[in-house]
Amino acid sequence: MSEQNLTKNQDLVLNQLGKSKTPMSAYDLLDKLREKGLKAPLQIYRALDKLTEMGLAHRLETLNAFVACAHPNCHENELIAFGICENCNKVWEFSDDEVSKRLDLWAKERDFTPVKTSLEIRGICAKCA
Amino acid sequence: MSEQNLTKNQDLVLNQLGKSKTPMSAYDLLDKLREKGLKAPLQIYRALDKLTEMGLAHRLETLNAFVACAHPNCHENELIAFGICENCNKVWEFSDDEVSKRLDLWAKERDFTPVKTSLEIRGICAKCA
DNA sequence: TCCATTAATGTAATAACATAACATTGTTGC
DNA sequence: GCAACAATGTTATGTTATTACATTAATGGA
Ligand SMILES: [Zn+2]
Ligand SMILES: [Zn+2]
Ligand SMILES: [Zn+2]
Ligand SMILES: [Zn+2]
């Protein structure tokens, strides 16, 4: 299940994220990957940095946790949004061109240069309602 | 500059936030408020909890920091968005009905019940460009 | 007024999340 | 082989947030 040219640690972390149905914190990942030889938080954080740069994983700011990207080559999309169920912790990844457009417009009107946008809707999903 | 019926600690924290031109972390606040008698992080976090509930302050998830609300009675707005300059740390608070509408639509289509939405655009402001 | 209930506070200890610093190893291209 | 760079390993430390428990203040009846 290796993707691209991931290093050993990156591959371990991405696989573990991929197996999880819900977001995992760096320390969740570390606990799971100790048996594979990883010993320190930094090994996890460094792998996560690269994976998020590559668009293979995403950081959820409201949870301090990470998910594997749900789409192939997601980092083509400028804006990625997440719905997060506070009961079952499932995450839905989506994007919306109209939202992107409106935020771009806000930025243009102020000569603000966006670098990274975070959009997370916390709530309760249909199943949990 | 007290607002509503704030308690002593809430008032101290809100005033300190109001004086700051940029977001402050809980520990930034604690450092500033030690001279006023506050001694422990929990005193700050408890005040911040109430202030954010009341809509008088907002938490910036991508910074783990807090700002005083820029608007009167902001919590009437469902969705509050922030532009954050990564150079000068200034914050612009805004809302956009069209964005709100699109996100509401996404939620309705999935029977997802939003509780709290976080929208933060990190970037470089006009002055810092 | 007295008492019960709830809200707010004080304090210490600890948990959870993230990075700095530095030494070492692996990979790539010449 | 060697220089340059990327990735790794390891220890220590910094930063953010919560648990637990004791105390005090405000509120609202009986
Ligand atoms: Zn993605
Ligand atoms: Zn759910
Ligand atoms: Zn506001
Ligand atoms: Zn700026």
pLDDT digits (tens, 9 = 90+) for B87-129: 999 999 999 999 999 999 999 999 999 999 999 999 999 999 9
Delimit the domains of chain B by residue range.
8-68, 81-123
Nearest ligand atom owner, CA of B89: 4
Q: For strand D, which nucleotides have at least one atom less than 7 Å from a protein CB?
A: 7-12, 15-20
d(CA B62, CA A124): 22
Q: Supply the Cα-derived Rg of chain B in whole angstroms.
A: 16
Q: What is the pLDDT of residue B5?
A: 85
Q: What is the pLDDT of residue B27?
A: 98
| pTM for the model | 0.94
A70 in contact with B at a CB cutoff of 8 Å?
Answer: no
Q: How many CB atoms lie within 10 A of CB B44?
A: 26
CATH fold, domain B8-68, is: Arc Repressor Mutant, subunit A (1.10.10)
The residue whose two tokens read 């309705």 is B108
Q: Are B87 and B125 in contact (CB under 8 A)?
A: yes
| pLDDT band, very low/low/confident/very high, at B4 (cuts 50, 70, 90) | low
Instruction: Judge: A121–B113 Cβ closer than 8 Å, yes or no.
Output: no
d(CA A83, CA B107): 8
Nearest ligand atom owner, CA of A110: 4
Task: Identify from B92, B118, B127 which residue to disrupt to test chain A contact, counting A C-beta atoms within 10 A and taking the largest count.
Answer: B118
Instruction: Judge: A116–B102 Cβ closer than 8 Å, yes or no.
Output: no
Mean pLDDT of B1-13: 79
- Percentage of chain B exceeding pLDDT 90: 90
Q: If you average pLDDT over every residue of chain A, what do you get?
A: 94
Q: What is the pLDDT of residue A37?
A: 95
Q: What is the pLDDT of residue B114?
A: 97
Is pLDDT of B3 > 50?
no
**pLDDT per residue as tens digits for the range A66-117:** 999 998 777 666 799 999 999 999 999 999 999 999 999 999 999 999 999 9
Give kind and range of the element (H or E) at residue A104: helix A97-109
CATH code of the domain made up of A81-123: 3.30.1490.190
**pLDDT per residue as tens digits for the range A1-52:** 334 689 999 999 999 999 999 999 999 999 999 999 999 999 999 999 999 9
Q: Position A84: which residue type? A: I
- Listing DSSP states for chain B in one string gives ---TT--HHHHHHHHHHHH-SS-B-HHHHHHHHGGGT--SHHHHHHHHHHHHHHTSEEEETTTTEEEE-SSTTGGGSS--EEEEETTT--EEEE--HHHHHHHHHHHHHTT-EEEEEEEEEEEE-TTT-
Q: What is the pLDDT of residue A103?
A: 98
Q: Which residue has the higher pLDDT, B93 or B2?
A: B93
Q: How far apart are the first and last CA of chain A?
A: 35
B92 in contact with A at a CB cutoff of 8 Å?
Answer: yes
Q: Position A87: which residue type? A: N
d(CA B61, CA B63): 5
CA–CA distance from B106 to each of A7, A83, B25, B29 (Å)? Answer: 37, 9, 32, 37
